[in-house]
Chain A
Amino acid sequence: MAADPNELRDDVLSGFQLSQQLERIWRTPSGLLGALMSVDHKVIGRRYIVTAFVFLLLGGVLAMLMRIQLAGPEQTFLSADKYNQIFTMHGSTMMFLFAVPVMEAFAVYLVPLMVGTRNIAFPRLNAFSYWMFLFGGCFLWISFALNVGPDVGWFAYVPLSSLQFTPTKRPDVWAQMITFTEVAALAVSVEIVVTVFKLRAPGMTLDRIPLFVWAMLVTSFLVMFAMPSIMVASTSLILDRLVNTRFYDPSSGGHPLLWQHLFWFFGHPEVYIIFIPGTGMVSAILATFARRPVIGYPVVILSLIATGFLSFGLWVHHMFVTGLPQLGAGLFTASSMLIAVPSGLQIFCWLATLWDGRPVYRTPLLFVLGFIVIFVLGGLSGVMVASVPIDTQVHDTYFVVAHFHYVLIGGAVFPLIGAVYYWFPKITGRMLGERLGRWNFWLAFIGFNVAFFPMHILGLIGMPRRVYTYPAGMDWAHLNLLASGGSFIFALSFALLLINVFYSARKGALAGDNPWNASTLEWATSSPPPPQNFDRIPVVKHRDPLWADSESLPVVAGLSAERREVLLTSLAEAEPQTREASPKPSIWPLLAAIATTIFFIGSIFTPWAVLWGTPPMAIALIGWFWPTGSKEDEE
């Protein structure tokens, strides 16, 4: 148990020798096999981000197809069947394959760096999570290419999605894609919680944790408590369709509204799972570009927690027109509006920070400003739809489409693009082009508003959702054409982002450790960081360590330089407790993901998959955990 005196540790080496030695033990092996075996959170985080963005682009192309079809009345660009598949794929891709994974991905990359540790907790589970995400996304899209893509909406209401009304395999594909992505998200959420609880740098007490990390911590708890609901829902849907269970069949005691309750109990927290990380990004960017810490640190944290809790009490507002008792509906109106209070408190803190700060106008800040303008509008239209009488008119119309795009794109995508501009230098070592960034921002801001603002009006003047066409005499044509035009401008802004990324990855200005003069620990190491993140684990004495002392970084010594080791600290005070071994690269996460994928895909075709699908999974898991005799596995 005590330190082995013969072991090489990081107090006897220093400087370049130390870096080299640590790099040797922490790096991912080269070559394809090495890449498949990587358990480095930065490698996996980068993959996760890129893959999520690929799904964003795919989902965006689908949106463009929809807007082309709806640009005029009674068009025949897309058939009814194609359109229904496309809007289902658009929603499912954006929600399950882009929005949640990209936020998780940024957390996977940034949280270990921000809390001052060497790797995320459970690195092999992290690798497994990425493969499950990738395989689930590919499963959905390959099915779509083979004309078995889902066509029942991203929410797949029964009875439409039950076997009787959709006898194809399409809803099963959708339901199982859910299982893939939920497994991936749940795995990451556990990793983030344990990383934040136990791997923080010594001295990083609870009130010194960066706001982005707090946001991801709260989000992870939301994931853990919300996703089981949709797992139960999608599993029972598959069971209904595969082995004839009766969960949703009213003729046998089931009820279609059970589906809605299960789906929305997940579905409402889901949007906060997407939004709360956005607020974390905003806090991080705002502090750096207002040149001062965010005002009201405790208020922001309490708001994050309150938002998380409240988000579980709103789901019935998606069901206001299903014939619920009136008093209950009224209570959900109140709770749905009350969540505006903690969100509002965060905004007030940010506004106060900008009021006092000295803004540095760079692209990340522009996207934060855009976020405030757009998200607040979306939040206010949310207060409107929270009202039962108003909702009876606007539910399932383009008004709601406008609302959620304002809150999701304003509240999550704008901060996300800002985050890309902000952290690209850390991840790649180069700066994105600032001029192109400004064009990116303005095209996005203008394009988005021209595309989505008219939809508020369209909903109020009678246009329902999920329609593949509309009649010529309804006076909806002009606004639809305007929206379609705006969507092209918005799409163009993403083209600019792509160009900026591809060009700058090679030719961008070199960034250095801390190009923005920011305050958090990820900026205390090189850009990009070495495999071990930090040559020595930092010690934190202040909430904004690099602003408190920009010259020198206090560190601990004594961790192994022979085996992978991370430092566990106590929950509240971050006192060092244990030097825990961290796993080396392993192929087992990939093998386990392959085995699980075979089981998942098989089980939508036959229940016998349980019999032949689980043994390979068991073998893969045993292989994963069986000790290899390396220094990390034994004492």
Chain B
Amino acid sequence: MRQTIVRDVSGLPTYGFGPRSGPWWGAMGFMALEGMGFAIAIGAYLYLYAVNPSWPIGASPPDLWPGTAEVVLYLLSIIPNEYTSRVAHRYDLSKVRIGLVVMSLIGIALLVLRGFEFAHLNTRWDNTAYGSIVWLILGLHTTHLATDLGDTVVLTVLMFTRHATPRRFGDVADNVFYWNFVVLAWLPLYLLLDWVPRL
């Protein structure tokens, strides 16, 4: 077929932020399916809650302090997270480096808190179905936290190398965006794990 050139796109940028970048949409896609996974796990918890006469089963509710401390730290982390997003959009390398280091440290702290939370669930995964679902849900979110932390750390390292090109700032923005999801996912899970047993 004969080709007729009707448009020239050479003036377009070679990368974009947010909806103008492919990976942002990919991240949205993964958030959708991971969010669905959380929703299903919550559904399983509520089903077991509904079919059992007493809840929790054979255990006292989890100690409140680790989960609540996490909520506070997650919510506080939004501040450096937003900061990192803004400086990434401005291609400010030194500030992005600071932001990423801070987010990495926060992630490590949260992982440590998570360890305490597991220890203070007051039930084992193999005691009862209550213990099993509680460990499963906490485990799923921990996997999230850990993989996002891994992503953040790698990105931090990258921004200290010669690969800190403009394109990479888009990757930072995506990473920051995803962190919001990790925070948001924790809030209903925290309510479920720590407060539903106290109803």
Chain A directly contacts chain B within the complex, with at least one CB pair under 8 Å: yes
- Assess whether B48 is in contact with A579, with CB atoms less than 8 Å apart: no
- Assess whether B9 is in contact with A567, with CB atoms less than 8 Å apart: yes
Nearest B residue to A563, CB-CB: B14
- In the complex where A536-B3, A554-B6 touch, is A578 in contact with B126 (Cβ < 8 A)? no
Closest-CB distance, A501 to chain B (whole angstroms): 28
Interface members, chain B 17-52 (any A CB < 8 Å) = 19-22, 25-26, 29-30, 32-34, 36-37, 39-41, 44, 47-48, 51-52
- Assess whether A245 is in contact with B7, with CB atoms less than 8 Å apart: no
- Assess whether A635 is in contact with B129, with CB atoms less than 8 Å apart: no
| Distance in angstroms between the alpha carbons of A633 and B171 in the assembled complex | 12
Stretch in B68-76, B104-112, B158-166, B189-197 touching the partner? B158-166
- Assess whether B150 is in contact with A580, with CB atoms less than 8 Å apart: no
Contacts of B168 in A (CB 8 A): 627
Nearest A residue to B25, CB-CB: A194
- Assess whether B7 is in contact with A186, with CB atoms less than 8 Å apart: no
- In the complex where A224-B36, A622-B154, A625-B154 touch, is A3 in contact with B10 (Cβ < 8 A)? yes
- In the complex where A258-B47, A568-B20 touch, is A190 in contact with B26 (Cβ < 8 A)? yes
- Assess whether A551 is in contact with B44, with CB atoms less than 8 Å apart: no
Contacts of A625 in B (CB 8 A): 154
B12 beta carbon closer than 8 Å to chain A: yes
A431 beta carbon closer than 8 Å to chain B: no
B94 beta carbon closer than 8 Å to chain A: no
| Distance in angstroms between the alpha carbons of A254 and B52 in the assembled complex | 8
Closest-CB distance, B47 to chain A (whole angstroms): 6
Interface members, chain A 557-587 (any B CB < 8 Å) = 557-559, 565, 567-568, 571, 576-581
A to B contact number (C-beta, < 8 Å)? 217
Stretch in B77-85, B113-121, B130-138 touching the partner? B130-138
Contacts of B36 in A (CB 8 A): 224-225, 228-229
Give which listed residue, B7, B52, B150, contacts A556 with CB less than 8 A: B7
| Distance in angstroms between the alpha carbons of A244 and B129 in the assembled complex | 10
Give which listed residue, A125, A186, A551, contacts B2 with CB less than 8 A: A551
A486 beta carbon closer than 8 Å to chain B: no
- Assess whether A2 is in contact with B48, with CB atoms less than 8 Å apart: no
B122 beta carbon closer than 8 Å to chain A: no
Nearest B residue to A557, CB-CB: B5
- Assess whether A194 is in contact with B2, with CB atoms less than 8 Å apart: no
- Assess whether B11 is in contact with A578, with CB atoms less than 8 Å apart: no
Interface members, chain A 161-206 (any B CB < 8 Å) = 186, 189-190, 193-194, 197-199, 202
Interface members, chain A 207-254 (any B CB < 8 Å) = 224-225, 227-229, 231-232, 235-236, 239-240, 243-247, 249, 252-254
| Distance in angstroms between the alpha carbons of A633 and B67 in the assembled complex | 40
A524 beta carbon closer than 8 Å to chain B: yes
| Distance in angstroms between the alpha carbons of A527 and B67 in the assembled complex | 59
Give which listed residue, B10, B57, B130, B167, contacts A11 with CB less than 8 A: B10
Nearest B residue to A265, CB-CB: B40
Closest-CB distance, A235 to chain B (whole angstroms): 8
Interface members, chain A 104-128 (any B CB < 8 Å) = 121-122, 125
A601 beta carbon closer than 8 Å to chain B: no
Main secondary structure of the interface of A (DSSP, over half): mixed
| Distance in angstroms between the alpha carbons of A258 and B41 in the assembled complex | 11
| Distance in angstroms between the alpha carbons of A245 and B51 in the assembled complex | 17
Nearest A residue to B167, CB-CB: A635
- Assess whether A536 is in contact with B5, with CB atoms less than 8 Å apart: yes
| Distance in angstroms between the alpha carbons of A2 and B14 in the assembled complex | 8
Closest-CB distance, B121 to chain A (whole angstroms): 13
- Assess whether A579 is in contact with B135, with CB atoms less than 8 Å apart: no
Closest-CB distance, B166 to chain A (whole angstroms): 5
- Assess whether A122 is in contact with B132, with CB atoms less than 8 Å apart: no
| Distance in angstroms between the alpha carbons of A320 and B16 in the assembled complex | 51
Contacts of B13 in A (CB 8 A): 1-2, 578-579
B125 beta carbon closer than 8 Å to chain A: yes
- Assess whether B14 is in contact with A635, with CB atoms less than 8 Å apart: yes
- Assess whether B8 is in contact with A556, with CB atoms less than 8 Å apart: yes
Give which listed residue, A11, A235, A254, A539, contacts B129 with CB less than 8 A: A254
Contacts of A567 in B (CB 8 A): 9, 12
Q: Chain B: residues with CB nearer than 8 A to chain A? A: 1-16, 19-22, 25-26, 29-30, 32-34, 36-37, 39-41, 44, 47-48, 51-52, 57-58, 125-133, 135-136, 150, 154, 158, 163, 165-168
Extra inter-chain contacts (12) besides given A194-B22, A559-B10, A634-B165, CB under 8 Å: A125-B26, A232-B136, A253-B57, A536-B5, A550-B1, A557-B10, A567-B9, A571-B19, A578-B14, A622-B154, A627-B163, A627-B165
Q: Chain A: residues with CB nearer than 8 A to chain B? A: 1-3, 9, 11, 121-122, 125, 186, 189-190, 193-194, 197-199, 202, 224-225, 227-229, 231-232, 235-236, 239-240, 243-247, 249, 252-255, 258, 261-262, 265, 513, 524, 535-536, 539, 550-559, 565, 567-568, 571, 576-581, 618, 622, 625-627, 629, 633-635
Q: List 13 A-B contacts (CB under 8 A).
A: A1-B166, A193-B29, A229-B36, A239-B136, A253-B129, A552-B2, A553-B2, A554-B3, A557-B8, A571-B19, A578-B21, A580-B21, A581-B167
